[in-house]
Amino acid sequence: MRSTIMKNISRNKLRIHRKARISAKIRGTASRPRLSVFRSLKNMSVQVIDDESGKTLVSAGTKELKSKKQEDKIKELGKLVAKKCSDKKITSIVFDRSGYKYHGRVKALAESIREGGLKF
C-alpha cells in the first residue's frame, strides 16, 4: 500500500521520477547509442539517440505502420527500427525503457529489435 502522501502523485509523475533515476546512469555514445521508448495508450515511438552530440540518429513510431492489431504494430516497429539502425551501421545499443516496466509492449518491442539483429 502506498502512503497517504503517495496517493496524490500520479502514475506518470512516478514514472518520470524513475526515468530520471535511470537516465542518470544510462548514456548513449556514437558507437553505442541509446534507444529511448515512449509509450502512450494507443501508440509507441522509439528514438535512437547519440547523447554525446545530442542528436537523434533514427526515429520511428507505430503511426507509420499499417497493421491493425497493436501486437503486430509493435513487432513491425521493432523490425523497422532494427532495419533503420543497420542502414546507419549501428549494431549495438543501450536500451532505455523510460521508466516503463519491462513487460507487455515494451518487452515485445525489445524482443523484436533483438530479432532484427541489434544487440543490447
Q: What is the pLDDT of residue 111?
A: 96
Task: Spell out the alpha helix ranges (H) of 1-120.
Answer: 4-7, 11-23, 70-87, 105-115
Spatial CA neighbour of 80 closest among 97, 95, 63, 96 = 63
Q: How far apart are CA 112 and CA 98, in angstroms?
A: 18
Domains of the chain and any CATH numbers: 4-115 (3.30.420.100)
Across 3-12, 30-39, 47-56, 109-118, least confident range? 3-12
Q: How do 94-96 and 55-61 pair as beta strands?
A: unpaired
Q: Over 70: is that where the pLDDT of 117 sits? A: yes
- What mean pLDDT is reported for the chain? 91
Report which of residues 96 and 7 the model is more confident about: 96
Confidence of residue 23 (pLDDT cuts 50, 70, 90): confident
> How wide is the angle at C-alpha 61 spanned by C-alphas 52 and 22, nearest 5°?
45
SS3 (DSSP) at 15: helix
| Type of residue found at 89 | K
pLDDT, tens digit, 9 for 90 and up, residues 46-81: 999 999 999 999 999 999 998 889 999 999 999 999
pTM score, whole prediction: 0.86
- Burial class of residue 2 in the structure, from the number of CB atoms within 10 Å of its CB (0-12 exposed, 13-18 middle, 19+ buried): exposed
